[in-house]
Amino acid sequence: MAVHSALRGRGVGTALLRRLESLLVGHRYRSLSLLTSASSHTYQPTRAFWEARGFMPILALDNLWETDVAMVYTKPLPGRAGTHSRSGRETPGNVGHAGGRGGSR
Ligand SMILES: CC(C)(COP(=O)(O)OP(=O)(O)OC[C@H]1O[C@@H](n2cnc3c(N)ncnc32)[C@H](O)[C@@H]1OP(=O)(O)O)[C@@H](O)C(=O)NCCC(=O)NCCS
């Protein structure tokens, strides 16, 4: 996800994320994951953005990109009433993906 630099800090990214999460919950997705830079100073505000919105860093990938370590962030999504199968068990979760490093590096 990326917001044009002239429009950042005005709530656009938060609104996009809220809308995406709402759509995913409606389609019974159970979590949302993304990749971003684990170490680049440039991406410190980006990491803070995701962490402030409930994403947890769960896995560092040091062989994915040549010049940087990638961090996988994930966030559990709330369940929705009516997401149980007839057997009474919850249906298997889907996993959504968002993010990417975005922008220029
Ligand atoms: C990260 C990004 C998508 C957030 O979108 P946004 O519209 O600027 O975010 P909002 O206005 O909804 O929220 C502002 C929050 O983002 C944070 N933020 C992160 N990067 C920012 C930036 N470059 N400019 C302004 N705020 C930024 C602010 O600190 C603020 O945090 P807080 O509300 O927790 O205090 C956007 O800043 C961006 O496109 N950054 C560059 C590309 C990028 O890193 N994309 C993500 C790849 S994983």
Q: What's 33's domain CATH number?
A: 3.40.630.30
| pLDDT tens sequence across 4-55 | 999 999 999 999 999 999 999 999 999 999 999 999 999 999 999 999 999 9
Domain range for 76 = 6-81+93-99
| 34 assigned to some structural domain | yes
| 69 assigned to some structural domain | yes
Pocket test of ligand 1: the residue of 5, 7, 8 to mutate, having most ligand atoms within 8 Å of its CB, is 8
| 72 assigned to some structural domain | yes
53/18 Cα distance (integer angstroms): 10
Which pair of structure tokens corresponds to residue 30? 């159970």
User: Does the pTM exceed 0.75?
Assistant: yes
DSSP 23-92: HHHHTTEEEEEEEEESS-GGGHHHHHHHHHTT-EEEEEESSSSSSS-EEEEEEEPPP-TT-B-TTSSBPP
Distance 81 CA to ligand 1 centre (A): 32
